[in-house]
Structure 1
Amino acid sequence: MSAVCTGHAQNGGAKHQFQVYSFIVYAGYTENGTIVKASHQELQQYLRAYGFQDLNLIYEQKMLDYPGGDKKNGVPNPERIQALAQTARVYPNTPVSLDLEGWDRWDTIKTPSRMIEVINAFKKTNKVSKIGLYATVPPNTYAYSENISRFDKVNKAYSAVAASVDYFSPSLYNYDTDTVNWNKAAIYNINACKKYNFPGKPILPYITPEVNHKGVKRMLTYDEMMGHLQMLYSLGAKGVLLWTSSGMRDEQGQKIYVDINTGWAKAVKDFIANH
């Protein structure tokens, strides 16, 4: 299900498509005030009715071997990668996001080469799914800082990786409660994507409803989530990849249940409905 925005973006005033792809692994949802426990698949099915689309997120341990148990030096396993690619072919409209965080991202020679090796192995079997990498092109800036431009050189070193993916997905998680700095990080990362000069490749940033500020965790409010979505739309993003952690707990230490009629989830629902 795709949503076409009827509003006007700041990047030229033209309306454009905007999709919300989600990987939500909470304990379930609430319906008419009742908690409904649900598996990941059941929760995704429930959310599809509100326009949330599926995301095929593949973590690196499913794709790599670790000789000697070295988690920072994983070796691509072509057979397993191709098996995952074969499975993904059944859902050609679901974007595939490969999470390959274990390698040293500052090694701008070996790490990009390894990433391209994984992408090529996947595409050897599956030429229909759209493939992206979590927080790689551009690499994760971990929020905004005054010296964020130090990442410019690293971004450029990943140009060959940018040429290999089908879409860009920078990470824009919530490392503090400063909306101004979040917006600055969004502007930097979206512009970094555009500098790769592949205008035909959509930008689908990773976002999350979770806030983790100095060890204190909470969920985004309605206004905060709506603000994030509006900012990304105005910058020209074609959608978002909405990620959650199964380990997230509320302020009382309880598991999270999605309430589509309040807070961050309602903001996402409303944004989809109105765009």
Structure 2
Amino acid sequence: MRRLFMALAGLLFISAAAAAAQPQAVFKLESYRKTVALHATVHGHDGLFLLDTAGGITLLSPAFAAKAGCKPWGRLSGFQMMGQRLDAPRCDSIDFTLGDQVFRAPVTAVLDVAPLVAKDAAPVAGSIALDLFAGKTITVDIPGRRLIIESPASLQARIAHARELPVLRSREMQGRALAASVGVATSRGMLWFELDTGNGGTLLVSQPYATLLGLDPTAKGPQQASFAVAAGLRAQGMAFTPDMILDGNLGMPFLHDKVITLDLQAGRLWIAQGQPRG
């Protein structure tokens, strides 16, 4: 009897510990072309939104904004990776409901994002960027197709099997936007590559840094890349070396099998190898 009691007590302890380590929320990610997306409800209207970790600011398409009752006003201005200026009107204090969780975007841009993905991309309601989760710790599990809002306990369990890497947070558009870049060490110094779930097919290395990563800066088309992001962690795939205003950009060729955890409050980043979910 004593052994049975101890066994039951042990099971209860394990169950309590497991429950304590549960994340705050888990949301399903869906495939959209070569990127990922998720469903959210805005003012009672459901829509499919790209998850764009390098987008900076969350977007509503003009059609979805009108359906949700948003009346765009003013102007937001920013720059795309290649230096083009992008202007868009705004909507303020928009609540996005994911599952049973509500996340408020202080400011959203009103812009049709699908043509920025591809000329023939299917329409979407907009895109969700890191600004929607400012102050939180999130995990983007690409192979597992999950977006996770971590609790303090689940974060500790998560990072026990992940590698911490240097990260920079950038807040453009007068502090409204939020994106994250991982540090890539070279023989001349540290480069910062945006982590970009919205980039489905390429690795991008700014032309002045191409040779440091074994690439030809004069190449007009794609070239095969294989360079170290960290010891034992390589970016491999088709790369371009444009004259861009960022050091570089790591899209799905790098992210497709990774689990990325970002503490957006403290500015910390962990990366682990992921496993596809059944």
- What TM-score do the two structures reach when normalised by structure 2? 0.25
Q: Which has the higher contact order (CA 8 A, sep 6+)?
A: 1
Kindly indicate which of the two structures has a greater share of residues assigned to strand: 2
- Structure having the higher helix fraction is 1
Considering only CA atoms, is the larger Rg found in Structure 1 or Structure 2? 2
